[in-house]
Structure 1
Amino acid sequence: MTITDPQVETAKPNVAIILLAAGASTRMGVPKQLLPYQGRSLLNRTIESAIASVCKPVVVVLGANCQHIRSQVNQTGVEVIENPEWKLGMSTSIKSGILSLSKCSESIDAAIIAVCDQPFVSAEIINNLVATYCSTGKPIIASRYAETLGVPALFSHKFFSELAALRETIGAKYLIEKHLSEVFCVPFPLGVIDIDTPQDYEQLQMRDSIAPLEK
């Protein structure tokens, strides 16, 4: 009979989460990171979901309007870093976040890439990515919505070098499509809702006002 160490059976991976919030919100006209929704900014809602999840550390990457946005982030246990190259595209923010993980005292097994303009990202959604990673052994766990795969998405550490090597406006979705055979997807229907324009924000607020009537 083989005796298994119970500590091995219950070992959990160290999964970080990187929240991308460096964009200039040019289509919105104001920093969308700070748009209020249900009493909190979009960014703070996402940060609080990340803090409530199993992920550690929580890394927030800022760029445009960095000082103003940083002053609105007051949660403890959050590492806020500035991407000075944010104008070159999302890839530079992913790189900044991934490189920051090398400073962690513990080795990181995987990282979730998420954005702050998907208002329905929750701790449950984040934890489901981690649980699926543990149960399937697949190195990439992506969210499925609107017949596509995207973020939030989890990447095993074996993809960290590729994430850090992305260029210009290429995001995490590129790696998901490149390594499709190594991807497992989880449903996140509300992931299709992201806030890029004033019209998107207006529709979000209208949706919130209609929702109670539907219950």
Structure 2
Amino acid sequence: MLKEKQIWNGLVLSAGLSSRMGAFKPLLPLRGKTVLGCTVDSLLAAGVSEVTVVTGYRGEELEAYLSAHYGSNVRMIRNQQYRDSDMLASVCVGLTQMAPCAAFFLLPGDMPFVSRETLQALIQARLATGSPLVFPELDGRRKHPPLIDASLIPQIQSYCGTEGLRGLWDSYQSVIRTVPVSDTGVGIDLDTGNDYAMYAS
């Protein structure tokens, strides 16, 4: 059982141009929903209290979709510099809007297949070890989404490295814990039209 007094949030990044997909990726239909909808739903199904979605390109469309389908379960904030910024910049934008929590999952909006069981396993590992940064591990490789302790938020927001999220994670190597999973969803991001065609059917 998950501890009832702990609050877990989700931060979903959906600000990009979808340039490699050739279509507007977040709202592509998938399993009776949309790519972004499946991503948000996976977090809510795992017991996340609230999801913050960072929009950017075609932000008004995304925000209208989220408002219509999720109401108060989802917060939205727009990265106005989405054309010229990286994922870490969107993370920092999202953190300004996210509600207080014990820890939060960080999930790209094009990873719709992460299972509830994986997310809950990360929570259990965090509770058991106290690690401020817990990643799933598939076939010996670290994957998304990490579960990030809220105590790291000020450090994330002030990080000045040149390698974006990868550089940020590298700076925390000594405290990272990984949880081996069999969930292939942690390794699937719908980046191209071929990716979408493979999994949309």
TM-score by length of 1: 0.80
Map 1:109-128 to 2 at 5 A. 109-128=102-121
Partner Cα separation in structure 2 for residue 150 and residue 129 of structure 1 = 12
Rg larger for: 1
Distance in 1 (alpha carbons) for counterparts of 2:114 and 2:130? 23
- Report the equivalent of 2:164: 170
Could you tell me which of 58, 69, 75 is aligned with 1:79?
A: 75
User: Which residue identity does 2:138 align to in structure 1?
Assistant: Y
Change in Cα spacing, 1:193 to 1:134, as seen in structure 2 (3 Å) is: same
How far did 1:201 drift?
A: 1.2
Tell me the amino acid that sits aligned with residue 193 of structure 1.
Answer: I
The answer to whether residue 195 in structure 2 is matched with residue 204 in structure 1 is no
Where does residue 211 of structure 1 map in the other structure?
Answer: none
Q: TM-score, normalised by structure 2?
A: 0.85
Asked if the contact 2:133–2:177 (Cα under 8 Å) also holds between the matched residues in 1, the reply is yes
Q: Which residue of 1 aligns with 2:61?
A: 68
Aligned AA (1:96)? V
CA contact (8 A) 1:142 1:176 kept: no
Query: CA contact under 8 A between 1:98 and 1:163: conserved in structure 2?
Result: no
Task: Determine if contact 1:145/1:190 at 8 Å carries over to the other structure.
Answer: no
Deviation sequence 1:124-143 (CA, Å, 0-9, x none): 32222212111121111112
Q: Are residues 199 and 110 of structure 1, via their aligned partners in 2, closer, same or farther at CA, if it must alter by over 3 Å?
A: same
The runs of 5 or more residues in structure 2 that have no matched partner are none
The CA deviation string for residues 155-207 of structure 1, in whole angstroms up to 9 with x for no partner, is: 11221123223467712x433332122111122433221111111112223xx
Identical-residue share of aligned pairs (%) = 26
Distance 1:177 1:16 in 2: 23
More displaced stretch, 157-166 vs 18-27: 157-166
| Alpha-carbon contact 1:90-1:170 (below 8 Å) kept | yes
User: Counterpart in 1 of 2:9?
Assistant: 16
1:87-111 Cα offsets, whole Å, 9 max, x none, are 211111100111213xx3xx42211
CA contact (8 A) 2:144 2:187 kept: no
> Is the contact between residue 92 and residue 166 of structure 1 (CA under 8 Å) also seen in structure 2?
no
Give the partner amino acid of 1:92: A
SS of the residue corresponding to residue 160 of structure 1 reads helix
CA contact (8 A) 1:144 1:189 kept: no
Quickly say closer, same or farther: Cα 1:146–1:71, change in 2 above 3 A.
farther
What does residue 130 of structure 1 align with? 123
Q: Secondary structure at the match of 2:70?
A: coil
Q: Does 1:191 align with 2:152?
A: no
Distance in 1 of aligned mates of 2:109 and 2:176: 23
Q: Give the aligned CA root-mean-square deviation in angstroms.
A: 2.0
| 1:93 lines up with 2:86 in the alignment | no
CA distance in 2, matches of 1:109, 1:32: 31
Aligned mates of 2:12, 2:178 — CA distance in 1: 20
